[in-house]
Amino acid sequence: MVNNMSLKEYEETGKIPLIGTMFPKMAVNTTHGLKRLPHDYKGKWLILFSHPADFTPVCTTEFVSFQKHHDKFAAMNTELLGLSIDQVFSHIKWGDWIKENLDVEIKFPIIADHGEVARQLGMLHAKGSNTVRAVFIMDPKGIIRSILYYPSELGRNMKEILRMIKALKVADKHDVAMPANWPENELFGDDVIVPPAGTVEKAKERLTDETIECLDWWLCHKENPEK
């Protein structure tokens, strides 16, 4: 729990980062050489994801899927960066195996961690030294916008991660929020949520704004501005 600590105080305790804080500065060794985080990804969205180990079945399906969606991520100014507690040569040989046997070339870098990075980011499993299936989404300013954790038994859903990037970009650009299952919400379809009014005057204005539909002054939506 954070309790009454400020974000700065929380970061200084050495606990894992929180949504809304800057990604911690670090230098990591990858299959594409040294990377400085978050500096080397300034101006881009970054998906940093950990996997339990190289040469494992579920992880292999995930890496193939990440790579097959690589162009879609790139079209949204988003980079991919993998991580596990394996050495660089293991990452490279695993990538070679995927290329030779599945005809998919892994083009994004993979961090070779000895446990320090995973420990700092809270990626370690409680019952072992392997990393869990964690996902950190970082915005172009280096701020952590989302943290997801998956069990070892469950591979990740790339469409959901793509949806999150798209939604965060729309939210930042237009100061809106997304309803459940957006853009296929059961109530509002692909409309976006207008944040609740902060004053009585704004609340009244909402009820007469023709671009906004309200079920009540605090529950309003409007057409997706990206249409």
Question: What is the Cα–Cα distance from 206 to 216, expressed in whole angstroms?
Answer: 9
Domains of the chain from N-terminus onward: 7-156 (3.40.30.10), 175-227 (3.30.1020.10)
Within the chain, where are the H helices? 7-12, 57-68, 70-75, 88-102, 116-121, 158-174, 200-206
From its phi and psi, is residue 215 left (phi > 0), alpha (psi between -120 and 50) or beta?
A: alpha
Looking at residue 3, its amino acid is: N
Please, are residues 221 and 212 in contact by the beta-carbon 8 Å criterion?
yes
Confidence at 8, pLDDT banded by 50, 70, 90: low
| CA torsion angle 174 37 121 112 (round to 10) | 130
214 among known catalytic residues: no
CB atoms within 10 A of CB 71: 8
Q: Give me the sign of the Cα torsion angle 65, 68, 72, 76.
A: positive
183 prior amide bond cis, ω within 30: yes
pTM: 0.90
**Which pLDDT score, from 0 to 100, does residue 129 have?**
76
Q: What is the mean pLDDT of the chain?
A: 92
CB atoms within 10 A of CB 61: 13
Confidence at 143, pLDDT banded by 50, 70, 90: very high
Kindly name the residue from 28, 46, 47, 59 that is annotated as catalytic: 59
Question: What is the Cα–Cα distance from 223 to 227, expressed in whole angstroms?
Answer: 8
* Structure confidence by residue, pLDDT tens digits, 184-210: 999 999 999 999 888 998 888 887 889
Q: How far is CA 1 from CA 10, 16, 73, in A?
A: 10, 11, 33
Confidence at 16, pLDDT banded by 50, 70, 90: confident
**Which pLDDT score, from 0 to 100, does residue 12 have?**
52
Percentage with pLDDT > 90 across the chain: 79
